[in-house]
Structure 1
Amino acid sequence: MKALPQPPPLNFEADEFALFLDIDGTLLEHAAHPDAVRVDDDLLALLQAAERQLGGALAFVTGRSIAAVDRLFAPLRLPAAGLYGLEHRLSANGPVEAAGEPADIAALAEEIAAEFDGANVYIERKGPILALHTRAAPQLLARAIRLVEQALDRLPPGYRVLPGNAGVELMPLEAAKGAAIRRFTELPAFTGRRPVFLGDDTSDENGFQAINEDGGIAIRVRPQGDTLAPYGLGGVPEAISWLKRCAGYPPTKAASS
């Protein structure tokens, strides 16, 4: 794949941009277990500065639940689309539109957990979404994908399987980051601004498509294979450095050399 150019530095204080951020693999390095990641004070301060400069036009768009996001980033409670847009908090510190776990997904989760009993696969139950994380056992990814795909025949219509870099998720068709981003762009804090989205996985491609269609800036972190994003950043450190430049942080010695 041809290397993607780095995105141009933006000025968050220019009243031009709305920023949408994936979390895992974009702001935080992946871990074998989703609860093993930590948010440091430097990242919290960066997000607070960016939200202030953007006039509140900053939102998380993530596969995590909003409750999980709030635990990670406490005390910060930014606007957020959780579970790929099945949950929303449309304003900072506002109420959460949550999503419950259907009975058929609960039963499937129990069945798959029994199938992988003793294996180093983490089964994450996120309401209507079932995620199998194989980062600690990459040799089991193909088996996990096969099990979830076979389960589609036994579920009601309206679900899809989304394989990722280190796992697979089963989710309702309406779970799509692009739709979540479009919902935010209709809100007063976001409307009229050029949307910018940073993501790192196949689940973010739908968001990149929406951004491109709206004339925005789509950025894939650690790009692998084909992507709809015209820009790329090498990894989480590069994404954080780029965000700091956009927020007006002084360049580090390494960045300026």
Structure 2
Amino acid sequence: MNFRFSGLLVALHFASNATVLTLLSWAGAFAHKAMPTYDRLLLGSMGALSIVLGTTSLKINSLGAFLATNMLTTPSTVLLRFLWEGKRYDLPVLGALSVVVAGVALHTINDKDLQAGWGLPVAFVSVICNAAYQVLQKMRQDSLGVNSAQLLQQISPVVAAGGAVVAAFEATGEGGFLAIHWSPLLVSALALTAVMAVTSNVAAGALIGVTSPVTFQVMGYVKACLLFLASLAWSYAMGGVESMPAWGSVV
């Protein structure tokens, strides 16, 4: 469908989050708990920035490069938790993360497209932003005594507003979303992404709240590996061996 309007998607997804969670709160699924305005704005802004940067990274990099650089989120999370909380990890954990960093470095060396232009800087800024957002999310949940649903309900309107600001620049002009044909298939697909986004965000917030950002990222490695293998299979199916990335990147 080539739907490239990331700001509109962020606004749609987090407006859906806010609506669903507010209805659940009214229904008694969880108690509404207000957060200080500063914390709402901080987490909401970080969340919106993290998503927009991640979407931009995916646009200008290949799926393989996007997934590979995203694996640096865990080492970044460990570093930020050490700097902000004094959290220390055992040597086996640090050794495993060293392997991850070495693998991403090897991929970066072999991926010529990633080295060109803004691909690499945007990818790394996206990773740092995402790690900072998850660490702050966990810290605020603990310090304010809120659960994941309460926190997400409070920050979703802020993230949606940030997405709406970006969407305003995507709306007009020849390539704007107001000028495209909104077919029933497109509308249905966007509605499906909203349902998936609500489910994913609630599950991710719950996991970070009961475990830690590092555990959440480690579990996400399984998803990254599956997506990377799927992208390799797709590249081979579409163009044969010649269209696949260099073997150094695969390793």
Asked if Structure 1 and Structure 2 have the same fold, meaning a TM-score greater than 0.5 normalized by the shorter chain, the answer is no
Higher relative contact order structure (alpha carbons within 8 Å, sequence separation ≥ 6): 2
The structure richer in strand per residue is 1
TM-score normalised by the chain length of structure 1: 0.28
- Structure in which a larger fraction of residues adopt helix: 2
TM-score by length of structure 2 reads 0.28
